Amino acid sequence: MQSTTFHFLASIMSSSSRHAGMGNLSQEEAIEGLKKLLIHNDKDEQLSKELETKIEKLISELLGTTPHDCHPVRRILGGFQSFKTNKFDVYPELFSELAEHQTPKFLVFACCDSRVSPSNILDFQPGEAFMFRNIANLVPPFNQLRYSGVGAAIEYAVVKLNVENILVIGHSRCGGIDRLMELPEDGSTENDFIDDWVQIGLPAKAKVKAEFGNLPLDEQKRECEKEAVNLSLTNLQTYPYVRERMARKALALRGGYYDFVEGCFKLWEVKSIISTPIRS
């Protein structure tokens, strides 16, 4: 077993020399980690699941592969083990406090897109942000008859948790915004839920068409990704508890845009409250 593993390690080292980037570990650190695991393996005869996961992670970093290459069960359990080892067990006081209550400063609306996790791109730590993710990061206007999931998240975060900031994050190459911009003018749909949901963004689409209708469709979509954030910021102000806290400067609204093509993030703040409530 050991000789086979060392042979495999040699092939990994040879292959890794063709890859410039290796994540957070240097090649030397990754190989040293593998050696330590192999010594442990020599004593215990058989790798535990935890060691298998760690070896896969090290090899992935050497080869420049991603966690998606792992078996799903090992990926889930290995991910939790990494969290527990590197965070939960390292900061016991923090997690003991969080077990009793949460006091997040942010309510964050973001897209479901797997490439735009707010915890990753903004480095939010446990307890910092109350998050709600949906298709195209849309916030509908206040309506007690529809979209109760969004309304409940806003009410809970603002009224119960007393968040001080609401951030709506849009992003590049958003599939939800693509669909919004491609909706047929005759109102026909081809999805069970998607088309109905993205229609929340129709005012943003109309504004983009009016101001940028001469641009190619792809460029209009990029403009709409930002304008949909502004629409959501406006819609947030139709919630009475949001308006009330904004009026006494206890709550700030901000929009953000993450461009994962260029690797940049833009941030802007709502400076004025809408003059009259908007109801759908």
87-106: per-residue pLDDT in tens?
A: 999 999 999 999 999 999 99
Question: Does the annotation place 70 within a ligand binding site?
Answer: no
pLDDT at 18: 46
**What is the pLDDT averaged over residues 81-87?**
93
CATH 3.40.1050.10 spans which residues of the chain?
102-269
Is 69 one of the annotated binding-site residues?
no
Tell me the C-alpha distance between 37 and 45, whole Å.
12
- Residue 279: predicted pLDDT: 41
Average pLDDT in the chain = 84
Instruction: Establish whether 174 is an annotated binding residue.
Output: yes
* Across 45-59, 125-139, 144-158, least confident range: 45-59
Confidence tier at 214 by pLDDT (50, 70, 90):
very high
CA pair distance 165, 246, nearest whole angstrom: 10
Query: Which residue in 59, 72, 66 sits closest to 25, CA to CA?
Result: 59
Any known ligand binding at 101?
no
Question: CATH: 3.20.20.70, 3.40.50.10420, 3.20.20.80, 3.40.1050.10. Which one for 102-269?
Answer: 3.40.1050.10
51 pLDDT more than 70: no
Q: What is the mean pLDDT of residues 55-79?
A: 71
Query: Which pLDDT does position 259 carry in this prediction?
Result: 97
Q: Which residues partner with 255 through β-bridges?
A: 168, 268
Using a pLDDT cut of 90, give the percent of the chain over it.
65
